[in-house]
Structure 1
Amino acid sequence: MKARRKQVDYFTAKRRHAYLFWGLLLFVTYAAAVLTQYDFVQGLSSIPGALVWGVTHFYPNAESLAKFPDVLRTLVETLLMSIAASTVASVFALVFALLGSQTIGVHAGIKLVSRSIATVFRNIDVTAWSMILLFSFGQNVMTGYFALFFGSFGFLTRAFLESIDETGGHSAEALRATGAGYVSVICQSVIPAALPQLISWILFMIETNIRNATLIGILTGTGVGFLFNLYYKNLDYNAASLIVFVIVISILVIEFTSNYIRKVMIG
């Protein structure tokens, strides 16, 4: 009887918390709408018109398809920049992850410094990095590359730290018991054990950077993002829609490829 009463009390408390959460969410939404003078009725009523406009204006036509070679060239540039930033950042992230690992780190001070650097870089968004680097490099490819690099470095360092601590600890201890040195433990135990997860994180970062590179290109004046912004500001919506479709297809292809690689590695 007591157990059943506790179960009833548990579900009652859960229901009460759910009501409280949704009530708070509705209150915050209403307060934000009042402060910003947003009209929900007008916003909802404008959706059909927006859909009609998109169908009638935002689609590739014969004239926009003539610009496909330029779109493809800038897309390849964006893809290569994203892949390069992700892969190079993964090398530096692996070094900092090994130094900051709780299981194989060499010194407590080095662990703290490594984790602190990773935390700082991880909490600064790539868009913020782009705006910061604009003052140093201006609008060029290097600005976009370093923005993606710094953002990838912070994220991958944190992800690598967790992967190494989860998968490499037991095998590292076993190898240390045999008298193996630090480099041997890393090369023969830690990295092989964590390699599937490390590669999975790198592939995820490449996918994310390709999405981010479009927005960064608008800020830095490079790549396919800049080309989209140029067409959009010139009211060439057909060419802008071509870029959107090409980006979506590219992301889907890359995601399919990444999932296939993960499946092969796990299988």
Structure 2
Amino acid sequence: MAARKLAPLGPNGGAEDSLAKTNAFFRKKTLVLFAMVVAFFVINGVSGAFVEFDFVSAAVDVPAGIVWMLSEFAPSASSLEYLDSIMPALGSTILASVASSCIAAVFSFILAVLGSRSVGIGGPMALIVRAIASIFRNIPVVAWALVLLFSFKQSEFTGFLALFLTSFGYLTRCFLETIDEMSTGPIEALRATGATYFQIVVQAVIPMSVTSVISWVLYMIETNIRDATLVGILTGTGIGFVFDVYYKSFRYDVAGLTLVTIVIVVIACETLSNYIRRRIM
């Protein structure tokens, strides 16, 4: 068999070939990125033209809108007199958010354990639980509030139920992923010793998932406090109702003070949640 002749390489032949491949790679990436940017602007332009949205006019009006918002919604000294009506409503909103998140977490964890692929009861339960979680999670909290409004009227329970149903779907999905990602070593060891299903859940599932569960519940409380404001506008309860009353009464300074209290509570809740997460993890 004739020996194959190889082309001689110069002293820097390998380095030059590698450099050429690197340049070609980055040139291709640059072209792809440029094409994506162009496509983004084209899609936005077509969408704006379809809905008759003028980007230039909107950009010009943004500074004036910000100035008006800061001047009209800035709390004044006289608006502080309304704290007596704002704080109780804010407190009820916080309590409703915490209660809906915690109660939903209990039901979600039970359902997630039963539908888990690693420790579930098997059969079609896994598919049923995921279907339930998807349905409840993908219906917006505003839609839940509007639907429940016709059945339970404007009441605290309507807002609580809307937050509960949304939290139930979201937490069920999160707990399912948490339990499925756990190590199966302790579970298999307990099964080998003849432990019952309840013992496996108590001795293995709960200890290994408790930190993630607490983290998700804290996140859900933060989210519900924000969502409760919008739900309160629809159900006529809580801090959302107080904001809506002052906003429609053209008392923008009091409405701005209401927003400030909501922001302070959300930031405080987020800070506390982050502290607890760092302590338990």
Structure 1 stretch 187-196 or stretch 44-53: which is displaced more?
A: 44-53
Aligned counterpart in structure 2 of residue 83 of structure 1, from 81, 84, 98: 98
Question: For 2:216 and 2:36, how far apart are their aligned partners in 1?
Answer: 33
With over 3 angstroms needed to count, the CA separation of the structure-2 counterparts of 1:180 and 1:13, relative to structure 1, is: farther
| Alignment of 1:259 onto 2:274 | yes
SS in 2 for 1:167: coil
Report what 2:5 is aligned to: none
| Alignment of 1:15 onto 2:20 | no
* Counterpart residue type for residue 23 of structure 1: V
Aligned counterpart in structure 2 of residue 25 of structure 1, from 9, 16, 40: 40
Residue 3 (structure 1) shift: 6.1
Aligned counterpart in structure 2 of residue 153 of structure 1, from 158, 168, 189: 168
Report what 1:244 is aligned to: 259
Structure 1 stretch 101-110 or stretch 161-170: which is displaced more?
A: 161-170
SS in 1 for 2:124: helix
Residue 115 (structure 1) shift: 1.5
SS in 1 for 2:185: helix
| Alignment of 1:141 onto 2:156 | yes
TM-score (norm 1): 0.94
Report what 2:77 is aligned to: 62
Residue 157 (structure 1) shift: 0.4
Contact 1:71 1:243 in 2 (8 A): yes
Structure 1 stretch 205-214 or stretch 23-32: which is displaced more?
A: 23-32
Report what 1:50 is aligned to: 65
Report what 1:73 is aligned to: 88
SS in 1 for 2:181: helix
Question: For 1:114 and 1:68, how far apart are their aligned partners in 2?
Answer: 44
Contact 1:164 1:190 in 2 (8 A): yes
Question: For 1:244 and 1:102, how far apart are their aligned partners in 2?
Answer: 44
* Counterpart residue type for residue 145 of structure 2: S
Contact 1:168 1:189 in 2 (8 A): no
Report what 1:201 is aligned to: 216
Residue 19 (structure 1) shift: 2.2
Output the aligned Cα RMSD: 1.6
* Counterpart residue type for residue 103 of structure 2: V
* Structure whose residues are more often helix by fraction: 1
For 1:163-195, what per-residue CA distance to the aligned partner results, in whole angstroms no more than 9, with x for missing partners? 111125232112212221111110001110010
- Structure 1 unmatched runs, 5+: none
Structure 1 stretch 204-213 or stretch 159-168: which is displaced more?
A: 159-168
- Structure 2 unmatched runs, 5+: 1-13
Contact 1:200 1:262 in 2 (8 A): yes
